[in-house]
Amino acid sequence: MFEKYDVIVIGSGPAGYVAAIRAAQLGLKTACIEKWSDENGKLVNGGTCLNVGCIPSKALLDSSHRYHDAHDGFVNHGISTGNLTIDVSAMIQRKEKIVAQMSNGITGLLKANNVTSILGSGKLQVGKKVEVTDKQGNVTVLEADNVILASGSVPVSIPVAPVDNDVIVDSTGALEFQEVPKRLGVIGAGVIGLELGSVWSRLGSRVVCLEAMDSFLPMMDQQIAKETKKILTKQGLDIRLGCRVTGSSVNTVNGKEVEVTYIDSNGEQYKEIFDKLIVCVGRRPFTEGLLSVDCGVNLDERGFIFVDDHCLTNVAGVWAIGDVVRGPMLAHKGSEEGVVVAERIAGQQAVMNYGIIPSVIYTHPEVAAVGQTEEELKSEGTDYNVGTFPFLAIGRAVAADSQEGMVKMIADAKTDRILGCHIVGPNAADLVQQVALAMEFGATAEDIGMIVFGHPTFSEAVKEAALSVHGHAIHMPNRKRRQKK
């Protein structure tokens, strides 16, 4: 007789643990299985995001930004720091303490919500049975009315730069450097590449980002992308577009270093030598060992688990959420899918608005967006109006020496409903959430323009951008408005 649950969740990352907690809150007997092990081999909760993704990278981004401020920015405030040094080992230890704290927090939350936490590897079998293999190799079979697959994603590898976890690393290895590399190469100038490149650039590395695409951040609004590239280049990131890496060779003649060959958009071949090379060319769904051959769950042509609009697979009672399914690989997207799936299992008619999912790049300044880009609206033939406002005209931003960037608001030309907001600037991640909230309730640009914003705040740039949609901005001259299509 198998132990029976109402819900079994495989994976305890942001998608999995949230799904498990919400299911338990709804009165469902729930178990959550996790196979992640830390650097000491201990099985822990949290998945990729907490252990080697969102949380540790933000810890390093914060540490490096504070160092950079002390090294280069404090003088503007009349603060002298003298002989400044960086203890990379201590910085890494702080990051690890944060990860351990958060992992323990998730374990505590699961327990507080009466979720059975099972540490081991889970595999879906036919008939909604789940085979669990613990660290010692012992196998237990569980059974559930519903199984939620939340196994996450892993970095994409490329043959021309095989990861050796020493000189050539992926995004995980880039979180473990014990000293600042003098010369750092980054293959890929996407979200992860820019964030990790920023960490080590602030600490003194000469960073070169080799991006195969001819356009910079093609998924972002291109006006914001152009401004972002200008700011990051000014900070010292050497971003080279249209550069396809063709090979890499590690040598130890002058100490450990790696020679990278690449071809630019004109077909010219070049070589660069780095002390470390980070491969950041994307992530792929992680399904190895997750599905038995006869479980019946289908994958799509890209290796993602196939699901419908509500994250139900082709097998009744089997669901999949987070990075392992279609859509942007964002922790908050997976978390919300977890809530929706748990509620649907409990009989509620929960739905998720995929059109209002914020995305953020945690460089400094941050880059954030919600809704549609101007390029997308042009391709659809939608009539729209645009308003922009620079942080340079915001008193709080100038006082904080954080005046780079802008807010861009896009509204429907007929209804004035907000269609998108794109920001590069201070606190962009938090500012764009204000607009996401407004969009969820169908707000117009005029609505935001009528709201009283505190002064002085960074968020005043959001109000001014909304006013600018109709040429009514107060704190800058307004250009003649022209409807765009």
Residue 369 clears pLDDT 70, i.e. is over it: yes
Question: Of the candidates 241, 260, 281, which is a domain's last residue?
Answer: 281
Q: What is the dihedral of CA 437, 438, 439, 441, to 10 degrees?
A: 90
Separation in Å, CA 398 to CA 76, 270, 408: 12, 41, 19
Asked if 52 contacts 175 with a C-beta cutoff of 8 angstroms, the reply is yes
Question: Of the candidates 312, 345, 378, which is a domain's last residue?
Answer: 345
CATH number of the domain within which 460 lies: 3.30.390.30
Mean pLDDT of 323-335: 97
Residues facing 154 on adjacent strands: 284
Separation in Å, CA 41 to CA 55, 61, 269, 454: 20, 26, 43, 49
Whole-number Å distance between alpha carbons of 462 and 52: 33
pLDDT category, 482, cuts 50, 70, 90? low
Find the catalytic residue in 455, 470, 472, 475: 455
Question: Of the candidates 299, 316, 345, which is a domain's last residue?
Answer: 345
pLDDT category, 82, cuts 50, 70, 90? confident
Same domain, residue pair 385 and 437: yes
DSSP per residue over 196-226, as a string?
HHHHHHHTT-EEEEE-SSSSSSTTS-HHHHH
Task: State residue 450's pLDDT score.
Answer: 97
pLDDT (tens digit per residue) in 129-155: 999 999 999 999 999 999 999 999 999
Triad 195, 198, 203: Cα angle to 5° = 140
Same domain, residue pair 37 and 141: yes
pLDDT category, 19, cuts 50, 70, 90? very high
Helix (H, G, I), strand (E, B) or coil at 166: coil
Whole-number Å distance between alpha carbons of 108 and 448: 40
Mean pLDDT of 372-387: 98
Establish if 223 belongs to a structural domain. Answer: yes
Residues annotated in the binding site for FAD, as ranges? 58, 122, 323, 329-332
Asked if 206 contacts 274 with a C-beta cutoff of 8 angstroms, the reply is no
Same domain, residue pair 23 and 128: yes
Catalytic residue flag (residue 455): yes
Establish if 93 belongs to a structural domain. Answer: yes
Same domain, residue pair 94 and 143: yes
Establish if 160 belongs to a structural domain. Answer: no
Whole-number Å distance between alpha carbons of 268 and 242: 11
Helices marked H in 210-310: 222-235
Mean pLDDT of 271-295: 97
Asked if 70 contacts 47 with a C-beta cutoff of 8 angstroms, the reply is no
Establish if 358 belongs to a structural domain. Answer: no
- Which has more confidence, 179 or 483? 179
Establish if 360 belongs to a structural domain. Answer: no
Establish if 162 belongs to a structural domain. Answer: no
Query: Where in the sequence is the domain holding 292, given as residue range(s)?
Result: 3-155+284-345
Residues facing 444 on adjacent strands: 417
Instruction: Tell me the helix, strand and coil percentages in the chain, rounded to 5.
Output: 30, 25, 40
Same domain, residue pair 404 and 463: yes
Whole-number Å distance between alpha carbons of 343 and 336: 11
Residue 466 clears pLDDT 80, i.e. is over it: yes
Task: State residue 484's pLDDT score.
Answer: 56
Asked if 223 contacts 410 with a C-beta cutoff of 8 angstroms, the reply is no
Mean pLDDT of 94-103: 97
pLDDT (tens digit per residue) in 189-232: 999 999 999 999 999 999 999 999 999 999 999 999 999 999 99
pLDDT (tens digit per residue) in 55-79: 999 999 999 999 999 999 999 999 9
| Burial degree of 84 (CB within 10 A; 0-12, 13-18, 19+) | exposed
Task: State residue 479's pLDDT score.
Answer: 76
Residue 389 clears pLDDT 90, i.e. is over it: yes
Mean pLDDT of 450-473: 98
Chain centroid, CA 263 distance in Å? 29
CATH number of the domain within which 127 lies: 3.50.50.60
Whole-number Å distance between alpha carbons of 380 and 373: 11
Same domain, residue pair 174 and 95: no
pLDDT (tens digit per residue) in 179-192: 999 999 999 999 99
Same domain, residue pair 297 and 444: no
Same domain, residue pair 295 and 201: no
Report the number of distinct structural domains present in the chain: 3
Residue 485 clears pLDDT 80, i.e. is over it: no
pLDDT (tens digit per residue) in 152-176: 999 999 999 999 999 999 999 999 9
Same domain, residue pair 379 and 339: no
Residue 56's H or E segment, with its range, is helix 54-68
Task: State residue 375's pLDDT score.
Answer: 98
Same domain, residue pair 292 and 308: yes
Task: State residue 300's pLDDT score.
Answer: 93
Establish if 478 belongs to a structural domain. Answer: no
Task: State residue 253's pLDDT score.
Answer: 76
Same domain, residue pair 261 and 310: no
Same domain, residue pair 242 and 369: no
Residues annotated in the binding site for NAD(+), as ranges? 188-195, 211, 282
- Residue 112: which residues within 8 A CB-CB, separation 6 or more? none
Instruction: Name the residue among 70, 467, 176, 152 with its Cα closest to residue 337.
Output: 152
Establish if 359 belongs to a structural domain. Answer: no
Mean pLDDT of the chain: 96
Residue 483 clears pLDDT 70, i.e. is over it: no
Phi, psi of 72, deg, nearest 5: -120, -20
Residue 1 clears pLDDT 90, i.e. is over it: no
